[in-house]
Amino acid sequence: MARLKIDPDVQFIKELQAAGGESLKKCYQCATCSVVCPLSPEENPFPRKEMIWAQWGLKDKLVNDIDIWLCHNCGECSDLCPRGASPGDVLAALRNMAYRSLAKPAIIGKWMSSSRYLPILFAIPAIIYFIIWGFTTGLSIPDGPIEYGKVFPGDYTIDPIFGLAALFVLFTFATAIGNLFRSFKESGLTPGEDAPGFWKALIDVIKEEIITHKKFQDCVSNAERYKGHLYIFYGFVALGIVTSIVAVGHWGGLLIGHQLHTPLSLWNPIKILANIGAIALLVGLTLITRMRLNADPSKTTTSYYDWYLLGVIWAIAITGTLSELLRLANVPGLAYPVYYLHLISVFMMIAYLPWSKLAHLVYRTVALAYARQVGRKGPGE
């Protein structure tokens, strides 16, 4: 009989446990998780096989596994696991590790993996905006009506910094997606000749799954997470539309000699959309944070990646709302420092995006499109 030699990567197991999969050793392979998962394909289902690969430290199999992206972390399997092995969290931990290995430079992924490095991530934007404040007003609070542009001129500081950060993020995502596709191919998944084209599959995924959050609805055990995720998603969509309109109106307006200037009046439709987006974000954050705080620790764990993302989005929402309220209430001594913190928190979300949990929005979306191309489908699809 042929013998199969298994060469476990012990370091990988330790890293996986540290990334949120500490319960993986409890699994005794009953397969309940694969049976109850509403998204798992009938053929070669997940997450039981990932649990045994993780226990054996089969890093090569796990890093190339498309199924970790098909999981939507609904927690159904973790709720019903008789051993408290939290398979949903183990898959989430595998995704956390994938953010680190897909996106380069890897050092940022390392900084995103532990609270130990949080001061570095905070210090980078804090120093940049501190220097700008020093240049514009000598670190003092300007006189007259509150206009954040007096301290942080949009045209010369905020737009170029965030423009460069956005280009950096786009380039990083493009190379990371290339790495992701290479890893799928290494696992033997290649689209057949009659497979739909990637862009068609991608548009179908966005239309049929992302916009409707259909796969989240398939998970019945965690309705609060579905609602919270939906609010946060549409909050970001609204704020993304507002940012795009303001950027195009401001810079595109140069061409026609009629630029859009901020701050906008409270009754401007763009401002109304921004405020609706901010409220949606706050509602979604409240739901998700409450769910995380009330979670049964014997069934699920909340990793540092979860708390980092929640913390940064909370910081953006609170400092953004306070910046507006303090400006309206004309309290310059607080308004400018709060706006400074707001810029830092926005930078911490945007510039480190490809290594954060929010990156699943990009990686999972393209993985779902690839899964359609290779015919990896869930039940009933």
Does position 371 interact with ligand SF4 (CB under 6 A)? The reply is no
Cα–Cα–Cα angle for 137, 138, 141, nearest 5°?
55
Residue corresponding to tokens 């306070």: 322
Interacting span for ligand SF4 (CB under 6 A) from 82-90, 165-173, 265-273, 342-350: 82-90
Minimum Å distance from CB 53 to ligand SF4?
A: 12
Does position 367 interact with ligand SF4 (CB under 6 A)? The reply is no
Interacting span for ligand SF4 (CB under 6 A) from 35-43, 144-152, 276-284, 299-307: 35-43
CB atoms within 10 A of CB 55: 19
Does position 280 interact with ligand SF4 (CB under 6 A)? The reply is no
Say if CB 206 and CB 59 are below 8 A apart.
no
Pick from 292, 248, 370: nearest CA to 89? 292
Minimum Å distance from CB 312 to ligand SF4?
A: 23
Pick from 32, 166, 14, 40: nearest CA to 86? 32
Minimum Å distance from CB 19 to ligand SF4?
A: 16
Gap between the Cα atoms of 17 and 119, Å rounded: 23
- List helix spans (H) across 103-252: 106-112, 118-137, 159-186, 198-205, 214-218, 223-247
Radius of gyration of the chain (CA): 23
Q: Which of residues 14-33 bind ligand SF4 (CB under 6 A)?
A: 27-33
Q: What would the x/- binding string for ligand SF4 be over residues 217 to 236, using CB under 6 A?
A: --x-----------------
Interacting span for ligand SF4 (CB under 6 A) from 44-52, 105-113, 267-275, 288-296: 44-52
Does position 81 interact with ligand SF4 (CB under 6 A)? The reply is yes
Nearer to ligand SF4 (CB atom), residue 159 or residue 218: 218
Does position 41 interact with ligand SF4 (CB under 6 A)? The reply is no
With 0-12 / 13-18 / 19 or more C-beta atoms within 10 angstroms meaning exposed / middle / buried, residue 95 is: buried
Among residues 57, 87, 109, 235, the one that binds ligand SF4 under rule CB under 6 A: 87
- 254, 258, 262, 268: CA torsion to nearest 10: -140
Minimum Å distance from CB 100 to ligand SF4?
A: 20
Say if CB 334 and CB 77 are below 8 A apart.
no
Asked if residue 142 has a cis previous peptide bond (ω within 30° of 0), the answer is no
Does position 377 interact with ligand SF4 (CB under 6 A)? The reply is no
Minimum Å distance from CB 214 to ligand SF4?
A: 13
Interacting span for ligand SF4 (CB under 6 A) from 34-42, 146-154, 162-170, 321-329: 34-42
Gap between the Cα atoms of 315 and 349, Å rounded: 10
Among residues 15, 17, 25, 83, the one that binds ligand SF4 under rule CB under 6 A: 83
Output phi, psi for 353, to 5 deg.
-50, -45
Say if CB 334 and CB 153 are below 8 A apart.
no
Q: Which of residues 48-77 bind ligand SF4 (CB under 6 A)?
A: 48, 51, 71-77
Question: Would the CA dihedral through 165, 282, 154, 270 be positive or negative?
Answer: positive
Nearer to ligand SF4 (CB atom), residue 75 or residue 332: 75
List residues near ligand SF4 by CB under 6 A: 27-33, 37, 39-40, 46-48, 51, 71-77, 81, 83, 85, 87-88, 91, 219
